Chain A
């Protein structure tokens, strides 16, 4: 079985984002970028399935700027076998990404598509679900455990009040949550091998997908700065204040 893992290059989770002066977006110039942490978990899971002999090949795919090569190399260093970069210099919205992935999935026929549940930059949480709909395949989102059983996959999800386990027939789409696994450190030999693993570069046009944005960003701004607190004289004063603020 082939596993396909779409990944995204995002602002590193350790970096405090700075909004551009003109409010058009987050300033990414010279900022440290890395593999989206949820996608890293998806890569790890795919590599583990390969090590267990369940998967035969792990294909990683990214849609983004040329520099997205870096995160593909990271995934290859972790143990993925080959990569496709769909190069696009403008921002691509989730629907267009899902459409590109749909065409690649039709070509490659993966038995399982593993994605991070969301990217930590825009928190859209849409691509996995859209892709499942476009492909007409079952989806298991927010997986905290994944077991392949013959031509089915058992996906355990953390839901309010407990765990829910779904049984999906393969091929399927699964999105990963934080507790699915703890991704490995890439080894030095892994990094060295990654440089000679195949990485194909394509464009959205190669897949016949129009990536023109359908959404308009009106404004991006920093969260409001927390204001100074006030001192209340006693409990009664506190209650009055809370009522004024409409929280009690």
Chain B
């Protein structure tokens, strides 16, 4: 049987109060939220996830979504859970107060996303896409569109979806064909078919607001000819309501490996009415506002899935009796006594807690990027978030999937059957490595775009911050800091080597480079966590897991560095036809 979800409130409290200096950070930004309030918010959100969302997760998986008369039917309990979630105000958490949001910092948003992903990833996507759509509209749409759509998206009465992918245009959006014909100065008729549209429709009631990428009649070819349109399921009527059915429809539901409770739609737009968001032909830039928010959220999905799976595996390992003790004297010991089981659990835990800290640090910079009084500080934080976004998206979802598999492995055969819920973690976690830009594309974004930002000064700034913290470490923490320092040196060498690499070389190196980057960044967080003085069980545990991380995880840095220095030549020895 699955264990009830225990929200990681103690870890959040530790990070807010003792690692990330939350109160000070909020004070600097003039945000009137302290760690006590933050904890109260996280605790109540966690309670909802544990008591209302986890219990419908497995049934959601088994039941899945269906299509009836062209409308999506979500699994039992989902509509009710959505209404409870929105009535409690959780969709408004980080939204702008002007449109009914609570304006709380992103660190709380990302950790709420973690708890959502740990308990019910399919459900969490409804909230994530709604927030992403609202952020894109807030950043780029005209005031009248903001006034019409943002209050409803903020309250969760309406939901959002993003429609990019077409059958012939996935990673390469330059190939997309959906058209938008002007009807009047600001209204357009959007025609085309999109695939893989998460939350494309549902039975929660209210409007579904699609942000659709399409081409205007005179648009230039390629990505410079793509515009963004707001296409709602229901259009405004004459009495101020939204009751007129727009000509968009769900063609089919995709049958897929996991997140079965999430309606992944094929969407047909048949001259559907839409409004332009942002400038003509600048749609991709506008959509990136949504995508960057989504990419961080997807990274957090990996974290949440691994964390949820870890808790199940740790509880199981403490109770499952199999095998003899190491000295052979006792039979039927809890499997947590076996070294290999501990290895699996610690590999997952050291990622989850290191990743949680790094996500928190990045989220604080997201707030600085938007709210700091000094423009230079805003720019600096914005660049750091841009640098870390692909690291979190790809690094956390790769490690999240690996973590789900390790946690499943702890259960032996019981992990493979449905009852314990572990195989669902594995199937659900898998998508996060693929959507919102595959992890390979994220790695190329890091190597090809982000390393070169501001002529390499951004990544240098990031490394310098790690140097500062490592230099301050002493005593027992010295060993942790020294190991992270050595891995950082390897990362610096690899960064320098990639600076002049050609596209072929960079593409071959990118994924290994990103993994190395992620390992060092989390090692830095472990050094910071291990440096916190104190002798509570929590402090002692942090130091113990930090030791494991630097001794058993970080040595991977050497292997990765060796792979990187070998270059890409061996990838191209085989001619294409020999594959």
Contact = CB atoms under 8 A, between A and B. Distances in A.
Interface string A192-206: 101100000000000
A186 B44 contact: yes
Contacts of B87: 187
Nearest to A184: B88
A77 B40 CA distance: 10
Contact of A29 (B45, B48, B102, B536): B536
Interface residues of A, number: 18
B40 A191 contact: yes
B89 A188 contact: yes
A14 interface: yes
B409 interface: no
Contacts of A32: 9-10
A195 B102 CA distance: 14
Contacts of B6: 14
Interface string A159-192: 0000000000000000000000000011111111
B92 interface: yes
A4 to B, nearest CB: 23
B93 interface: yes
A4 B84 CA distance: 28
B538 interface: yes
A102 to B, nearest CB: 31
A74 B40 contact: yes
B453 interface: no
Nearest to A188: B89
Contacts of B538: 30
B537 A30 contact: yes
Interface string B80-99: 00001001111011000000
Interface in B68-113: 84, 87-90, 92-93, 102
A14 B4 contact: yes
Given A14-B6, A30-B10, A30-B536, A188 B40 contact: no
A191 B41 contact: yes
Contacts of A77: 40, 44
A51 interface: no
Contact of B89 (A14, A29, A189): A189
A70 interface: yes
Nearest to B536: A30
A32 B7 CA distance: 11
Interface in B121-151: none
A30 B45 CA distance: 21
B192 to A, nearest CB: 38
B93 A188 contact: yes
A191 B48 contact: no
B89 A187 contact: yes
B37 interface: yes
A189 B103 CA distance: 11
A73 interface: yes
Given A30-B536, A32-B10, A77-B44, A185 B84 contact: yes
A185 B88 CA distance: 7
A73 B536 contact: no
A185 B47 contact: yes
A190 B44 CA distance: 11
B104 to A, nearest CB: 8
A173 to B, nearest CB: 29
A191 B92 CA distance: 13
A187 B102 contact: no
Interface in A187-234: 187-192, 194-195
A187 B536 contact: no
A61 B40 CA distance: 19
Contacts of A185: 44, 47-48, 84, 88
Contacts of A70: 36, 40
Most-contacted residue by chain B among A70, A73, A185, A189 (CB, 10 A): A185
Interface of B: 4, 6, 9-10, 36-37, 40-41, 44-45, 47-48, 84, 87-90, 92-93, 102, 536-538
Given A77-B40, A185-B84, A191-B40, 15 more contacts: A14-B6, A29-B536, A77-B44, A185-B48, A185-B88, A186-B88, A187-B87, A187-B88, A187-B89, A188-B88, A188-B92, A188-B93, A189-B89, A191-B41, A192-B102
20 contacts: A14-B4, A14-B6, A29-B536, A30-B10, A32-B9, A32-B10, A74-B40, A77-B40, A77-B44, A185-B44, A185-B88, A186-B88, A188-B45, A188-B92, A188-B102, A189-B89, A189-B92, A191-B40, A191-B44, A192-B102
